[in-house]
Structure 1
Amino acid sequence: MGIALFAAPSRASGNPDLVKTIPGQKTDIINGVACSADGKKIAAAGDNGTVTVWDSTSGKLLLTLGKDLQSADAVAFSPDGLLLAAAVAAGGRRGNAVQVWDLANGQLVQDMREHTQLITDLAFSPDGNRIASVGNDNTLRIWNVKYGTLETTQKETKNNLLALAYSPDGKNIVATENWDGKIQMWDAVNVRLIRTIPGHGDWVLCVAYSPDGKEFVTGSRDGSVYVWDAESGARLRVLRDPELDPVNSVAYSPDGRYVMGATQSRHILSWRKSGGALFNFYEGHDLSVTSLAVSPAGKHLVSGGLDGAIRVWTPPGQGGPDSLLAQAMKFEAGTDPMEQDFGQAAKLYQQAAESGQLEAMFRLGAMYNQGKGVARNFDEARKWWSLAAGKGHSAARAQLQAEQKVAVAVTPPPQAKSEEVRTQTEPKPLEPEEKKTKIAAKEPAKPEPVVKVAPPAPVAKDKNGLYEEGLRFFKGEGVPRDYAQAHKLFVEAAAMGHAKAQYRLGFMYSLGRGVKKSDQEAVNWWQKAAKQNDAEAQYYLGYMYEVGGGVKQDMEEAKKWYQKAAANGNVNAAQSLKMMP
């Protein structure tokens, strides 16, 4: 017989995967990060025009590069780690430049200016001899690093080009488009377009090649993440369906086993390449995560965000026992955005417990005690609780003590000895009074008179309380995730004028969560919230006008709502304004 004293697990405490934070200022938005080949340096491109280089171990600032720059949007180390390139806006008529610095002395060695609009991304070729860049002028350009000259300009679309990646062998380039959500596949040697494939339903914000070059992954402003065959362009896997949560950057782990994505919702998601299931997520940024980079040596995962901070993480699959524990707790609780999976939780608890993690031992015992994710086995439960208790885990010790008390309480009294049984006398006849007592005990008791109690007066519903309760059901925090119940509660709060509830309803209708998908209904709720000055609703309303979702496409109306959202502090709206023509 097993009992449990502990409460259901909640969000894992602490952040064991976060190695260090290099703090920034709220105004110092980071647009791009990169890691040197040896993993010893981190570079960052700042929206305020700063290009910085940091020591990845100590977090010390090594270099500040660039002079009088208006913004920096992307950075890349040369394969040998000697040079750093950045896409910058330097001001003036020909102010969009690819600049290259010598990291030994911080000197500018190349200043290449042919792009006519914002340069959105750049990359060194694997041999380090060339740099490819793309931008809002719809062009792919190839530069000679040694001589600082433009080798070729290619324009195959009227759309802005947002991101690019070289294949590991340098023979191919993938570039992504905005409005039509298309992906361009290029022969990098002859610089010719091989094919254009339909990619996502919205802007394709990011792309990365797998280490073996056999596939590449893309992320979109519609929140989807897809994996593609690098030769045919066929879609291989869907890692994430469309979500109102743009994916700003993607990367592969150096061993190719994991794919990572940086989201507007401040998460860094990781998926197993095999199977495509969400494996884990990291959270720590205060605002959207804009860029990811992985050191080729695989020791660090680096992220930058709109909060101005650079964060260094333990890459997926390399965390220790504490990391396994935190991950298991997410699976057990179904912590948003992960789905509840007791089997996966038990497996991770087992791995952590076998490495000596006491809390994992205790929780693994609980899984066996309750039969969650594993076959119910009280002996196995006691084994893990005993191991944890023996090493000082107080809750495991209390669990064992409680079980012992229950065992004593339910143990039957020992049977009398045979000699005592033989010497017992026959029961004596009942006296008259005793007979009356026995008879009375057998008669049914007369029912007590029923006292009618007035029902409690109805408690007035509070719109904030309704919204918070709806949010719990929406996210599955402390209760099973239930979109239908969340929708019901949001509708009640929204009818009372709760702006965030109105925004959430727009979110649900846009994605079809708990309701039938309807862009028109989403726009209806976002308009209500936007008129109450809700910045997120204003941002998404601008987005719907920009893409023509649920309303007639209207770029001026889109800009109007983006401007309102940006004025209310929505940095994503400010970024969207920068990307619009």
Structure 2
Amino acid sequence: MNRRSFKSIVVGGLLALVLSSTNAQDSTAADWIKNPAMGNYKAYAEFKMANYEAARHIWEILAGLGNCDALFNLAILAEDGLGETQNMLKAESLYVAAANAGGFKAQYRLGMLYSGDNPNFPKDLEKARRYLNLAAAGGDKDAAARLASLDQPDRPATDYERAELLASSGKHAEAAEIYTRLSQLGDIGARTRLAWMYEAGRGVERSLEKAAELFMLSAKAGDAEAQYAIAVMYRTGKGQRMDKSESLRWLKQSAAQNYPAAIAAMAAEG
């Protein structure tokens, strides 16, 4: 379960692809409340098409239910100013709500933000350690690595960690440059991280085609997170042609490596 930091919108949102027999694209608020996974999927589909207002509407409904993925995704919109004015105070409160609801993505994100140098986010190493410990306890190796760095301030940060800190400081373009270099050197995790950036348009020009290319390279190299992302693309027809059999094939490979979202999806298939 390596490098499961900021997973764009996919990780929390796509479970409905296998959870529901209803077409999520035609779903309603009543459907989302009954099956939050379906709502998260539809919102993610809207996000991929840069329909941020539509995505926000759905996530706000789910956030009212305490859904940690919806809260996390709303925080991303606020942090990056997607479809709204950038508001880091709002992002912080949403990340905290998501983390306290058990969202590992939010726990890691808060750990990085509180320990970074974002001029618009309050630095607080005590809070950073608290949330990083929660994420690390859930198996996040990046959170564990960041904790080790905080405990050993004289230890040089790895290039990957530097990229994560740059991203947490709002320097997405600089982070993307490092991920690109690491990817070219064969770092599979960095390549997957770069793919998420292309999908979300963070620090690079938004390109589903480029994201799909990078995800596929990492998926073929055995990265469980990328395999899950490819499964999602085949299921939605966004970034790959729609092919449910291919989607299931990649989903099985991801689940075989104990990737949580894939395991849950396979269980729902079951």
**Which bracket does the TM-score occupy, shorter chain normalised?**
0.5 to 0.7
Which structure features the higher share of strand residues?
Answer: 1
- Counterparts of 1:334 and 1:241 in 2: how far apart (Å)? 26
* Superimposed CA distance per residue, residues 166-221 of structure 1 (whole angstroms, 9 cap, x where no aligned partner): xxxxxxxxxxx52x253166xxxxxxxxxx9xx9xxxx9529xxxxxxxxxx9413
Gaps of 5+ in 2: 1-17, 47-52, 79-84, 127-155
Answering whether residue 154 of structure 2 is matched by residue 465 of structure 1, we say no
* Superimposed CA distance per residue, residues 230-271 of structure 1 (whole angstroms, 9 cap, x where no aligned partner): xxxxxxx668499xxxx7x9353xxxxxx74312998996x9
The residue type paired with residue 512 of structure 1 is G
Distance 1:220 1:335, change over 3 A: farther
Of 227, 244, 247, the residue aligned with 1:538 is 227
> In 1, are the aligned partners of 2:251 and 2:262 still within 8 Å (CA)?
yes
1:513 shift after superposition: 1.0
Distance 1:267 1:523, change over 3 A: closer
- Counterparts of 2:219 and 2:45 in 1: how far apart (Å)? 29
- Counterparts of 2:222 and 2:71 in 1: how far apart (Å)? 20
> In 2, are the aligned partners of 1:538 and 1:564 still within 8 Å (CA)?
yes
Answering whether residue 185 of structure 2 is matched by residue 528 of structure 1, we say no
Identity %: 20
Distance 1:467 1:240, change over 3 A: farther
Distance 1:484 1:205, change over 3 A: farther
Residue in 1 aligned with 2:9? none
Residue in 2 aligned with 1:491? 180
The residue type paired with residue 220 of structure 1 is N
Answering whether residue 254 of structure 2 is matched by residue 560 of structure 1, we say no
1:509 shift after superposition: 0.9
> In 2, are the aligned partners of 1:545 and 1:555 still within 8 Å (CA)?
yes
Matches within 5 A, 1:41-440: 136=20, 159-160=21-22, 177-178=23-24, 180=25, 182-183=27-28, 205-206=35-36, 219-221=39-41, 240=56, 250-252=62-64, 260-263=66-69, 277-278=90-91, 279-280=93-94, 281-282=96-97, 283=99, 285=102, 335=114, 341=120
1:514 shift after superposition: 1.3
TM-score norm. by structure 2 comes to 0.56
List structure 1 runs of 4+ shifted beyond 6 angstroms.
264-269
> In 1, are the aligned partners of 2:228 and 2:251 still within 8 Å (CA)?
yes
Query: SS in structure 2 opposite 1:533?
Result: coil
* Superimposed CA distance per residue, residues 93-123 of structure 1 (whole angstroms, 9 cap, x where no aligned partner): xxxxxxxxxxxxxxxxxxxxxxxxx9x7xxx
Distance 1:222 1:539, change over 3 A: farther
Residue in 2 aligned with 1:79? none
Residue in 2 aligned with 1:550? 239
Which structure features the higher share of helix residues?
Answer: 2
- Counterparts of 2:162 and 2:224 in 1: how far apart (Å)? 22
Distance 1:487 1:340, change over 3 A: same
Of 191, 196, 214, the residue aligned with 1:502 is 191
Query: SS in structure 2 opposite 1:497?
Result: coil
Distance 1:568 1:223, change over 3 A: farther
The residue type paired with residue 62 of structure 2 is V
* Superimposed CA distance per residue, residues 25-74 of structure 1 (whole angstroms, 9 cap, x where no aligned partner): xxxxxxxxxxxxxxxxxxxxxxxxxxxxxxxxxxxxxxxxxxxxxxxxxx
1:335 shift after superposition: 4.4
Query: SS in structure 2 opposite 1:505?
Result: helix
> In 1, are the aligned partners of 2:63 and 2:71 still within 8 Å (CA)?
no
- Counterparts of 1:288 and 1:580 in 2: how far apart (Å)? 24
Q: How many residues align?
A: 196
Distance 1:507 1:288, change over 3 A: closer
- Counterparts of 2:119 and 2:209 in 1: how far apart (Å)? 32
> In 2, are the aligned partners of 1:205 and 1:221 still within 8 Å (CA)?
no
- Counterparts of 1:511 and 1:574 in 2: how far apart (Å)? 24
Answering whether residue 206 of structure 2 is matched by residue 517 of structure 1, we say yes
Distance 1:260 1:483, change over 3 A: same
> In 2, are the aligned partners of 1:334 and 1:341 still within 8 Å (CA)?
no
Gaps of 5+ in 1: 1-117, 121-135, 137-158, 161-176, 186-195, 208-217, 227-236, 253-258, 290-329, 346-358, 360-461
Query: SS in structure 2 opposite 1:263?
Result: helix
> In 1, are the aligned partners of 2:43 and 2:54 still within 8 Å (CA)?
no
> In 2, are the aligned partners of 1:466 and 1:492 still within 8 Å (CA)?
no
1:512 shift after superposition: 1.1
Distance 1:505 1:267, change over 3 A: closer
Residue in 2 aligned with 1:114? none
- Counterparts of 1:241 and 1:579 in 2: how far apart (Å)? 26
- Counterparts of 2:29 and 2:62 in 1: how far apart (Å)? 17
Pairwise CA RMSD? 4.8
> Larger relative CO (CA 8 A, sep 6+): 1 or 2?
2
- Counterparts of 1:267 and 1:548 in 2: how far apart (Å)? 22
1:473 shift after superposition: 1.2
> In 2, are the aligned partners of 1:261 and 1:268 still within 8 Å (CA)?
no
